[in-house]
Amino acid sequence: MIRLHDTLARAKREFVPADPKRITMYVCGPTVYGRAHIGNARPAVVFDLLRRVLEHAFPEADVIYARNVTDVDDKIIASAEEEDVDTAVITERYERHYLEDMGALGVNPPTIAPHATHEIGPMIAMIETLVARGHAYAAEGHVLFSVPSDPEYGVLSKRDREQMIAGARVEVAPYKRDPADFVLWKPSPDTVVGWDSPWGRGRPGWHIECSAMIRAHLGETIDIHGGGLDLIFPHHENEIAQSRCAHGGAPLARYWVHNGFVDMGAEKMSKSLGNIVTPGELLEAGHKGEVLRLALLSGHYRQPLPWTTSLMAQSKAILDGLYRKAGGAGAGEIDDGVMEALYDDLNTPLALSRLGQIADATTLKATANFLGILLESEKAWFRGGGDGSEVDARIEERNAAKKARDFATADRIRDELKAEGILLEDGPGGTTWRRA
């Protein structure tokens, strides 16, 4: 039995899919205008793990995991203007980076990756439905969702009206009937990306894309909707309102799962605060993807995760230990104790502590692989980056020197390699090496 903390219920609930053969999960994906930071990588890793756990718990079911790509947005338009390029140049570049970075962190591609710019039709159709049902109105080229038209608005964030208006940082605009109303569609001048619509040439607001893409790809009501804590309000609150009002009251999601922030010092890591660390720069600096993945899973997903260099060092040391212990073992059975911890609202701290206690190498290997780590061979792991051919060439040189009884040269090569952090081990099968 899987239990998940549901933000809507403010409680852990047993997860029972609506259809045992088809489990649907949607997670709000990246807005592709810059490199993802570690805070953005956390939901990608957490929901990748949740998907694996669902597939393990429901082997008979198709787990359909959709993660969208927001490729039309004011920040994308601003970046494109700054570089004087088409918005597609920006979005394609940063989507590619995102997929590479997440791939290095062991995040498998989602089942479906809908792009906002390919889904304008379904968005316009949903906005038309909302207008027809009296939940939205057109004004000065905009279409706005009428918050007072939805008596259940605020159900997820449980904010009162004053907090909602303050939290949404909504612009006061003359075309709004109510200050809490939010934009579904806005006009685009000729110089900016836009699409024809019943309200003139324009582009969608951010919130409508998720509601429309969920409807188009997964259905009116999905099992799990996920994302970072910062999306609860206003984004997910608005998604709920749009979808429920467009679908005659059907709820958008049966479980709402939110991950906590990654903190830098005492602050949340965020682009606007300028305190970000990106997986891209950490990978380039020689940190391995598995180290970053383990670091991101080391804390419980709902708690804030302080990002420090010692967290990465600890994760590296844990992985070194696990690689030594697993040695060259093949993958056996997945450990029940680890799965039990994961089934309980993805308790990764407990799961990882149990992983460390597994005595059997094949069980350790299989369980670690399930978590997305220990995927390299022990040899490749300790050799670090690169293919090591340069080191092999110098070992050959040393072997030749030894054969020629030139021990001074042989020792010199060994010492030089040691100074570079490469340790040689002479054994009966020849010389092997690893990075210190």
Binding site for Zn ion (CB under 5 A): 28, 210
Place of tokens 């093949």: 330
CA 127 to chain centre: 28
**Residue number with CB closer to Zn ion (225 or 288):** 225
Minimum Å gap between C-beta 233 and Zn ion is 12
The SS3 assignment for 68 reads coil
Beta bridge partners of 367: none
**Phi, psi at 35, each rounded to 5°:** -70, 140
Residue burial 220-250, b: 16+ Cβ < 10 Å; e: rest: ebbbbbbbbeebbbbbbbbbbbbbbbbbeee
| Least distance between Zn ion and beta carbon 29 (Å) | 8
At residue 35, what is the residue type? R
Residue number with CB closer to Zn ion (30 or 260): 30
What is the smallest separation between the CB atom of 209 and Zn ion, expressed in angstroms? 7
Q: Tell me whether residue 45 or residue 210 sits nearer to Zn ion (CB atom).
A: 210
Select 45 or 212, whichever has its Cβ closest to Zn ion: 212
The least distance separating Zn ion from the CB of residue 210, rounded to whole angstroms, comes to: 3
d(Cα 210, Cα 228) in Å, to the nearest integer? 14
Question: Closer to Zn ion at the Cβ: 233 or 433?
Answer: 233
CB closer to Zn ion out of 28 and 326: 28
Position of minimal CB gap to Zn ion: 210
With respect to Zn ion, which residue has the nearer C-beta, 210 or 352? 210
- Alpha-carbon dihedral 352, 224, 45, 263, rounded to 10 degrees: -90
Smallest Cα–Cα separation from 17: which of 44, 48, 54? 54
Angle at 179 between CA 178 and CA 182, to 5 degrees: 90
Q: How far is the CB of 220 from Zn ion (least distance, A)?
A: 16
Q: Tell me the closest approach of the beta carbon of residue 235 to Zn ion, in angstroms.
A: 5
| Smallest separation (angstroms) from Zn ion to the CB of 326 | 39
Maximal CA-CA distance, the chain: 92
Please, which residues have CB within 8 angstroms of residue 32's CB and are 6 or more apart in sequence? 69, 70, 71, 76, 90, 91, 93, 94, 95, 98
